[in-house]
Structure 1
Amino acid sequence: MKRTVRYKRVLLKLSGEGFGDDGGRGLEMERFIPLAKEIQKLSRSGVELAIVVGGGNILRGAKFSDTGKSRVQADQAGMVATAVNALLLQDTLERFNVNTHVVSAIEIKNITEPFVLRNCLQYLKEKKVIVFAGGTGHPYFTTDTAAALRAIEIGAEVMLKATQVDGIYTDDPVKNPSAKLYKKLSYLDVLSKRLRVMDLTAISLSMENKLPIIVFNINKYENIGRAISGKPVGTYVGE
């Protein structure tokens, strides 16, 4: 049966930690498989899907710069880390017969494709999955901001922010078991409360362009599909 979807063009943001071990470090290849299976189902249902991957499981630029390294070069190293995750995700997806393009904001000749919006829009129309790597291509910007930017550029109807918890809470639910889950928030709520779901630049950019965000737990089976179908899942951020 064909899945009923509410959102037909979607930007999915995946943190690098989701590809790592229980501590979010390194590469655990089995983590790619359930994700690839779910993306395969979505692709077959006709959803136009683009993905932005982080690289924090390998190297997080901002933290690396805290060791005394140049922030610019640390962020550039982080951009390369996202490309590693993107290529491994592409390989897994194509083993499940999902036609996938890795498009990078930084030039990695003969391995990834450069970002050309016209090409990306054509891939989406052809129901091919795009994996965006390299962040925005510039230092000082997170992959969350890259996700908001790419979502707006491709005309996505929603941005899905995959996390390791069920959504946005009043406090860190890992450290504070009494923290309460928000079901719905406005952009201004997130900004004024300084909720650490993503950086403030990404929230401000989404607010300016009226891009809704759904924050959910990637570890629960078929949560991506539920979010795309419009079923209640995680926390909705919008107007």
Structure 2
Amino acid sequence: MAYSAPKIDNLTRARVAAMIDHTLLDPAATPDDVTAAIAEARELGAYAVCLSPSMLPVRAPGLVVATVAGFPSGKHHSLVKGSEARLAVAQGAAEVDMVIDIGAALAGDYNAVLSDIITVREAMGTDPVLKVIIESAALPDEAVVEVCLAAERAGADFVKTSTGFHRAGGASVHAVRLMAGAVGGRLGIKASGGIRTAEAARDLIAAGATRLGLSGSRAVLQGFSE
């Protein structure tokens, strides 16, 4: 499947909303918070709502349900990540965002990264969408590219910049450009982590992002015209 972002001069509020995974991954989130996040995502016209796996199953008519695995550290055993992803899919998740072992990537052990992703892909099956969180701000450029290529070889559907929880930072235009160059439209690019303004969202889309992970979706969308 080919992935391409909309043209920068066609970024209406509705078109950007349709790229958003409206995200609630706060460890202190309550069931009422989840209900409110789903309602807000529906109101805004978001594509998906992304929730912690412990909050599944949920009813979210009109939205894709996404969740995370190995979040946020990526230091879970691959079999644990795979089991978490498989259970989430069984509980209604259509998309899973998994975190790689960042230390393996920093050490240049891309075969370990590849194996980690393959384990999750095989555990969750081929139909659900798999997004691979590479924590791009924590990696040198070479590792960003190599991890994206490993994700493609492992059968992922997207590569994603960040968890939003790492001290190194979140999404950047530079990282998105590197990622887009590596996967060449063959995988989607999800920019996530620290995106708080319409200007930031616009710049990331222009760099190649095809999906946005946002917790403050309303504030970002207010910067786009109807």
TM-score, normalised to structure 2, is 0.38
TM-score, normalised to structure 1, is 0.36
More helix by percentage? 2
